[in-house]
Amino acid sequence: MNALIANNPEVAQRVAIDLSENLVSVKLVVPMDEEIPILGGKTLRLNLGIIVGYENERPLVALKGVSLGGIPLPNAWLGNLKNRNLVKEFGAEGGFWKFFSDGVADLKVQEGHIRIKLKE
């Protein structure tokens, strides 16, 4: 994934992805526009962790946490979505999570690798 990101030098300077056992970690560096109140002209450093797996014949995707400048954001600020399986929570409503889930036969993240087996 990082090799794909590296193909675009502007994105490569701002995004890094790390894959470990059942976890996708994303690091973002986001420069803020000068006109934004309080944060204008500053650079935000965001880290987020996403639990990824496959259980009970369905994909598992859950937000593990988000930090801003190294400070973890409260679950309430994240819509109380931490550690909730987004596919299970929102897949029944149709839309992205249902279509995603319906097309995945297996999903596994290991050190440096992600494996997605698609349904026929």
Single pTM value for the model: 0.84
Domain count, the chain: 1
The DSSP call for residue 85 is B
| Phi, then psi, of 77 in degrees rounded to 5 | -70, -20
Q: What is the model's pLDDT at position 2?
A: 73
Q: What is the model's pLDDT at position 9?
A: 86
Q: What is the model's pLDDT at position 43?
A: 93
Q: What is the model's pLDDT at position 76?
A: 97
Distance in angstroms (rounded) separating the CA atoms of residues 38 and 55: 43
The answer to whether the CB of 49 falls within 8 A of the CB of 58 is: no
**Domain enclosing residue 55, as ranges:** 2-118
Q: What is the model's pLDDT at position 88?
A: 92
Q: What is the model's pLDDT at position 7?
A: 87
Distance in angstroms (rounded) separating the CA atoms of residues 28 and 19: 15
Closest CA to 82 of 63, 61, 68: 63
Q: Is the dihedral of CA 49, 53, 57, 59 positive or negative?
A: positive
Q: What is the model's pLDDT at position 93?
A: 84
Distance in angstroms (rounded) separating the CA atoms of residues 107 and 19: 13
Q: Return per-residue pLDDT of the chain as tens, 120 residues.
A: 777 888 888 888 899 999 999 999 999 999 999 999 988 999 999 999 999 999 999 999 999 999 999 999 999 999 999 999 999 999 888 899 999 999 999 999 999 899 999 998
